[in-house]
A and B are shown apart, each in its own frame.
Chain A
Amino acid sequence: MPKDSGIGASSKRREDVRFLTGAGNYTDDINIHGQLHVHFLRADVAHATLNGVDTSAAEGMPGVHRIFTAADFAAVGGLPCGWLITDRHGQPMQEPKHPILAEGKIRHVGEPVAAVVADTLAQARDAAEAIVLDYDVLPAVIDMKAALQDGAGRVHDDLTSNLCYDWGFVEDNKQAVDDAIKGAAHVTTLELVNNRLVANPMEPRVAVGEYNRSDDMHTLHTTSQNPHVIRLLMGAFVLGIPEHKLRVVAPDVGGGFGTKIFHYAEEAFCTFAAKALNRPVKWTSTRSEAFMSDAHGRDHVTKIELALDADNNFVAVRTETLANMGAYLSTFASSVPTWLHGTLMAGNYKTPHIYVNVKAVFTNTVPVDAYRGAGRPEATFQLERVIDKAARELGVDPIKLRRQNFITEFPYATPVAVEYDTGDYVATMDKLEEIADLAGFAARRKESEAKGKLRGLGVNCYIEACGIAPSNLVGQLGARAGLYDAATVRVNATGSISVMVGAHSHGQGHETSFPQVISEMIGIPEDQIDIVHGDTSKIPFGMGTYGSRSLAVCGSAMVRAAEKVINKAKKIAAHLMEASEGDIELKNGRFSVAGTDKSVAWGDVTLAAYVPHNYPLTDIEPGLEETAFYDPANFTYPSGAYACEVELDPETGHVKIERFSAADDFGNIINPMIVSGQVHGGIAQGIGQAMLEGCVYDADGQLLSASYMDYAMPRAEDVPFYTVDHSCQTPCTHNPLGVKGCGEAGAIGSPPSVVNAVLDAINSGSGKKVAHIDMPLTPARVWAAMQ
């Protein structure tokens, strides 16, 4: 019998009512009296020397208040990068300045060069057209391999090359890996591209800056996944505003997927200009601007080698990757191809020797940073593709080959520095075979073939590291921040509860699922508990939502704070009932004395805390409010097995996704409905990457895919109903809820099985041999590969 509330219940989402009735409060819905509008004049070339910006004709145009250029930001810092990577030679990464507005050089199409602030947006746009940019175009540096050649043009003249870093992991293991590959019975090699993507949350980015002269207070309303991180980065590193004079508010946010983690020039600009003009300043991104200014994702070019012994046991993995950083280092760009990618190269397998090399490269393109999965999809894709290729080369069943090499004992220390606490890869694969009806595939293939179509089945596993992260560990690895989170549980006099959390909900349903946990702990109805998030003036300092960390890290902080509240409440209850504190039990919202019929209600105790007439004031303070910070002891390791079935028309190369099944192990689950929804959405984005999406630059650095007419994302007809299951549960051993995180799994786990399925269709049915096709698998690419 499913529960109807608390942990494990599919509670309906309370936030839905406002979204379904048009009552949501997104940043663009915020208009402040007296606000001005900014339009950014953006570079229309990828690479140029910027000689001057002539604003004279635009200055006097109707409604214009001021036009800003780089000179106005001379005393302001650049946008910082939050993670220092040390390369394989012990050298720090090359870290160029990332200015608010282009300084001396234009480095990518879409880079903001000037900003016009006017009464209306239309006036600002009109005036921007009268600004004259004086620049000399330079050859664009677009292709990563070319960017690393001697004599290549430089994106940053003050750096020694376009190489950001040359990272080796684990460098001391390199020789052993080389030796293992040399001595292997079989080596499968695969070169592949992990295509450049744009996250495309449906809500474009928006920023509204405000300044109040009376108390010298700055407020920024912005579309962020982590308002405290923005406050810290913008306040301390860019604008020099102390935290107590800066409030950052991220209200309802219409999707993030990573790209709203980062600190962007436009939000710093609006905060800065609001003070300079003493008026609120608003910017709302158009979709074309979003394509040219939201950090992109992925964009790796990789060569992977998988070595096997004569019995098909994996003996070594060696990878070399070029990772595109774009023109500047976005907030967490440097960590994605390194610590979020290299540490996952063991996957679900007991490969003893692994070496990962990553060269990060500057190019004249939009900065690249974390997008749903961030590094882990890149690791999973190459590993699960090369395993499939090895299976085909060796003539063995790809599922059998995976099973044979599974890690089966936990905890398991990988050769790439992480220790998996729990998992059961056999169980998720068994579950997948069941829910995907793999036994029925042969019959379905016959049906397809009878229609003149090819049918393919692709399977893959994945492992991810979530719940980022133990602060002392990531500090050693170069992170410039701690990665704990925080929660305050504020019990009101009449017993209702407000929980202020550092995590931010922008689709994940925290306002529903977090109260389920508190309801379970205390035994009061979920509707007596509210979650407050997204406003630095209301919430404790937390690091926000990304990397599937909200419940594992912030939820753990919430549990710790609630435990403190309960412990104090038990003391009060003991006083009220004249009993020993050790005998007090809390169940279903009542405190009782063990072995007696004495009890008091939750509300009696909370009222006593705030009206302390009969209260042990000499021993405990009045009030009932506690804060906890939680720093995780390890990452969490969700895992799973996915299967995709496709039908391919050999005449046209058109591929239809017929079935998609996912068996995940997320540990314990708070709200199964929400978890399934997260997996659905992730799968769709993974199918998007595999089949449709791809960011295209031409050789001059023009972004050819800068609108929804040019960048294809999945629509309802492109995807099937998904079969998802999360009944395999090996709880996390080191956080109080035993949860692992579910937000990214779908996007991490799905691309390889889609590609594996298409290749299976071609290789098993057409008589053609195709080893690999790079994503997205458009009909043109599939058809061409088959010719």
Chain B
Amino acid sequence: MRVTMDVNGRSVSGEVEGRTLLVDFLREGLHLTGTHVGCDTSQCGACTVHVDGLLVKACTMFAAEAEGAAVTTIEGIAAPDGTLSVVQQAFQDHHGLQCGFCTPGMVMAATALLKDNPKPSEAEIRHHLDGNICRCTGYHNIVKAIMAASGQEMPALAAE
């Protein structure tokens, strides 16, 4: 079947099977390989994208379900001239990534959080990241980066 959707501000369409997942359409159909697949069970969050402003795990949604939707992937977060978003820049400034594989999902999750809750507490950040697993950073610098992106002072324990 043919699907049409808006991805990162561009109208795109393509042929998919009924069983084609949104993540596969993005990666294989549109060559947007920044959205990653880390598990088979919607646990890891590496495939997180925004669909009509909602945080969605793209491995849990069929491409056909996104018909007519506005989808934002990690490739659509920085400004067109390449300037990193506040969240992206905070992740670099605070070493919020190491291998980079979970990073697109983390940035999408953090971006959505700050849209809904511009000044989240440490506990709120940690709770919000429940659906995103990082195996490298121990979350310390991810939480720190999100706090910094929201313009908040660091707790003393996050100083290092």
Q: Which residues of A contact B (CB under 8 A)?
A: 12-13, 15-24, 26, 28-29, 31, 122, 200-204, 252-255, 257, 286-288, 506-509, 659, 673-674, 676-677, 680-685, 707-709, 713-717, 719-725, 746
Contacts of A720 in B (CB 8 A): 157
In the complex, A334 Cα to B40 Cα: how many Å? 32
Please measure, in the bound complex, the distance between the C-alpha atom of A725 and the C-alpha atom of B102, giving whole angstroms.
26
Identity of the chain B residue whose Cβ is nearest the Cβ of A724 in the assembled complex: B160
The reply to whether A708 and B41 contact each other, CB–CB distance below 8 Å, is: yes
Shortest CB–CB separation between residue A320 and chain B, in angstroms?
32
CA distance A681 to B78 in the complex (A): 27
Q: Is B139 an interface residue (CB 8 A)?
A: yes
The reply to whether A287 and B40 contact each other, CB–CB distance below 8 Å, is: yes
CB atoms of A12 and B93 under 8 A apart: yes
Q: Are A680 and B137 in contact (CB under 8 A)?
A: yes
| A714/B34 contact (C-beta < 8 A), A17-B92, A202-B133, A707-B41 known | no
Chief secondary structure at chain B's binding surface: loop
Contacts of B91 in A (CB 8 A): 16, 20
Does B141 interact with chain A (Cβ within 8 Å)?
yes
Count of A-B contacts judged by CB separation below 8 Å: 194
Contact B130 A716 (CB under 8 A): yes
Which of B38, B77, B84, B160 has the largest number of chain A CB atoms within 10 A?
A: B160
A-contact bits for B137-149, CB 8 A (1 contact / 0 none):
1111111100000
Query: Residues of A contacting B134 with CB < 8 Å?
Result: 202, 716
A680 & B101 in contact (Cβ 8 Å cutoff): no
Q: How far is the CB of A688 from chain B (nearest CB, A)?
A: 9
- B-to-A contact residues, CB < 8 Å: 17, 19, 27-28, 32-41, 43-44, 46, 73-75, 77-78, 82, 84, 88, 91-93, 95, 97-104, 107, 122, 125-127, 129-130, 132-144, 155, 157-158, 160
B39 touches A287 (CB 8 A): yes
Additional pairs, 6, CB under 8 Å, beyond known A202-B36, A680-B138? A17-B92, A20-B97, A29-B27, A31-B28, A202-B44, A254-B100
Contacts of A252 in B (CB 8 A): 99-100
Residue of B41, B95, B104, B125 touching A677 (CB-CB under 8 A): B95
Q: What is the chain A residue whose CB lies nearest that of B140? A: A680
B138 touches A20 (CB 8 A): no
A202 touches B46 (CB 8 A): yes
The answer, among B39, B44, B98, B130, for a CB contact under 8 Å with A507, is B98
When the two chains form their complex, are residues B140 and A202 in contact, meaning their CB atoms are under 8 A apart? no
Cβ-closest chain A residue relative to B32: A22
Shortest beta-carbon distance from B80 to chain A in Å = 12
A29–B34 Cα distance when bound, in Å, is 9
Contact partners of B82 in chain A: CB under 8 A: 21
> Using Cβ atoms and an 8 Å threshold, which residues of chain B touch A673?
95
With beta carbons under 8 angstroms apart, the residue of B37, B39, B74 that contacts A21 is B74
Determine which of B37, B74, B100, B138 lies in contact with A681 in the assembled complex, contact meaning CB atoms within 8 Å: B138
Q: Give complex CA distance A680, B96 in Å.
A: 11
A716 touches B143 (CB 8 A): yes
* A776–chain B nearest beta-carbon distance, Å: 16
B138 x A683 contact (CB < 8 A): yes
Residues of B within 8 A of A708 (CB): 39, 41, 43-44, 133
Q: How far is the CA of A58 from the CA of B142 in the complex (A)?
A: 47
Give Cα distance in the complex from A29 to B36, angstroms: 9
Nearest B residue to A30 by beta-carbon distance? B33
Contact residue among B34, B46, B88, B143 (Cβ-Cβ distance under 8 Å from A721)? B143
CB distance from B14 to the nearest CB of A (A): 15
Q: Which 9 A-B pairs have the closest CB atoms?
A: A22-B34, A19-B100, A254-B101, A684-B138, A708-B43, A507-B99, A507-B98, A22-B74, A680-B138
Is the CB–CB distance between B99 and A254 below 8 Å?
A: yes
Q: Are the CB atoms of A721 and B140 closer together than 8 Å?
A: yes
A203 to B138, CA, bound (A): 16
Cβ-defined contact, A709 with B43, below 8 A: yes
Q: Tell whether, in the assembled complex, residue A719 and residue B36 are in contact, meaning their CB atoms are under 8 Å apart.
A: no
Would B130 and A717 count as touching, CB distance under 8 A?
yes
Inter-chain CA distance A149–B136, complex, in Å, is 41
Q: Are B157 and A203 in contact (CB under 8 A)?
A: no
Q: Which residues of B contact A681 (CB under 8 A)?
A: 98, 135-138
Residue in B32, B36, B138, B141 whose beta carbon sits within 8 Å of that of A254 in the complex: B36
With a cutoff of 8 Å between Cβ atoms, the chain A residues found around residue B103 in the complex are 19-20
- Note all chain A residues with C-beta closer than 8 A to B77: 21
* Contact between B135 and A685, CB atoms less than 8 A apart: yes
For residue A254, which residues in chain B have a CB less than 8 angstroms away from its CB? 36, 38, 99-102
